[in-house]
Amino acid sequence: MTADPVVIVGASHAGAQLAANLRKEKWAGDILLIGDEGRLPYQRPPLSKAYLAGECHLNDVAIRSRQFYDKQRIELLDGVARSVDRRAHTVTLGDGRVQSYSTLALCTGASARALPVPGADLPGVHYLRTANDVEAIRSAAVPGCKAVIVGGGYIGLETAASLRVLGAEVTVLEAAGRVLERVTAPMVSAFFDRIHREEGVDVRTSAMVEAFRGGGRVDGVVLADGEIHAADLVIVGVGIIPNTDLAEAAGVDVDDGIVIDEHTRTSDPDIVAAGDCVNHPIERYGRRARLECVAAATEQAKVAAATICGKDSALSSLPWFWSDQYDLKLQIAGLNTGYDEVLLSGDPAHDRGFT
């Protein structure tokens, strides 16, 4: 048994699953899982869906119970990793504690991308990334309130659906020519555009936000064409940025995410990485990508645990994604790289589901 533990920085899906998988791989040494939210590790996908809509409690979406971590001898530490000394194999925490490691796992996740416009710091302008974010949004989303969502991707549309459940009047502002433009085909975009309009959402595309308006609190969203949308609250969902500062400061290779190989190793052989923070190879497409999804984080955590235990395991899964909106589930396998032929089952222009 090694004297120093495996230290995992980041207690979201990748980090928590990595810790659990280490025990499945019969790792007998100590495991330290560091998170900065002061909560049990929880699933993030339900945040914009059932959790925001008030259909479940945070305990319902915990990745594992407290008893699991205790039984598996996984120490949960509430703290922030400030720096890594690769030569000394240590991590320095925000409270000054210096923690040694045998292997370091960087599962630092990502942060919501800020919208750099005037008024972005006004009270009432929200981002949705953590449970605290959702609780703040839900408390403001009283029935009849005017909610403006900036961004028509997964998060924006899922949030729109949940806010309609809560009784809010919802407007979605998407800068691109269609919703979900970055991730799916035009007919799928048109389908979800129609569904949201039928559910009472005002969907605006090619809508460029120029500023948020308000005195002590946001009360409107100003578009580039001068149109103003009244708002009691605003939720910005324009993507995420990988949390790579810790890795970069330590001299680990970073390029739109922490660069890992097919075994999740970074440029330092004693550091692995997994989750939304990583840029990894996808064998099927012959290129690298940063996939922001639970499926990728789960596979990376499994491979990272095997790698730490000296086993030969490699990333190989086909990327896949899902999104729950109202009573519908969108499921996508593979990356959107164009198509040669369209095969349909059902009518996306009129039905409430199709393949």
Structural domain boundaries in the chain: 6-111+241-308, 114-238
Give the pLDDT confidence score for residue 327 in this predicted structure: 85
> Residue 322, class by beta-carbon neighbours within 10 Å (0-12 exposed, 13-18 middle, 19+ buried)?
middle
User: Which pLDDT belongs to residue 213?
Assistant: 97
- Cβ–Cβ < 8 Å for 233, 218: yes
Give the orientation angle of helix 154-165 with respect to helix 186-198, to 10 degrees: 20
pLDDT digits (tens, 9 = 90+) for 156-191: 999 999 999 999 999 999 999 999 998 888 888 999
The phi and psi torsions of 267 (rounded to 5 degrees) equal -70, -10
Rounded-to-integer distance, Cα 153 and Cα 183, Å: 8
| Tens digits of pLDDT across the chain (355 residues) | 456 899 999 999 999 999 999 999 999 999 999 999 999 999 999 999 999 999 999 999 999 999 999 999 999 999 999 999 999 999 999 999 999 999 999 999 999 999 999 999 999 999 999 999 999 999 999 999 999 999 999 999 999 999 999 999 999 999 999 999 988 888 889 999 999 999 999 999 999 999 999 999 999 999 999 999 999 999 999 999 999 999 999 999 999 999 999 999 999 999 999 999 999 998 888 889 898 889 999 999 999 999 999 999 999 888 878 888 888 888 888 777 777 777 777 777 777 777 6
What is residue 5's predicted lDDT score, i.e. its pLDDT? 96
Does CATH place domain 6-111+241-308 in 3.40.50.1980? Answer: no
CA 115 to chain centre: 17
CATH code reported for the domain at 114-238: 3.50.50.60
Tell me the pTM. Answer: 0.93
- Whether 6-111+241-308 shares its CATH topology with 114-238 is answered yes
3-state SS of 76-107 is EEECCEEEEECCCCEEEECCCCEEECCEEEEC
Find, among 344, 343, 293, the residue nearest to 317 by Cα.
Answer: 293
Residue positions counted in the chain: 355
Q: What is the pLDDT of residue 3?
A: 65
Closest to 229 measured CA to CA, from 172, 154, 165: 172
Q: Which residue shows structure tokens 């994604």?
A: 321
Q: What is the pLDDT of residues 126-137, one digit of tens each?
A: 999 999 999 999
pLDDT at res. 352: 78
* CA 203 – CA 355 distance, rounded (Å): 23
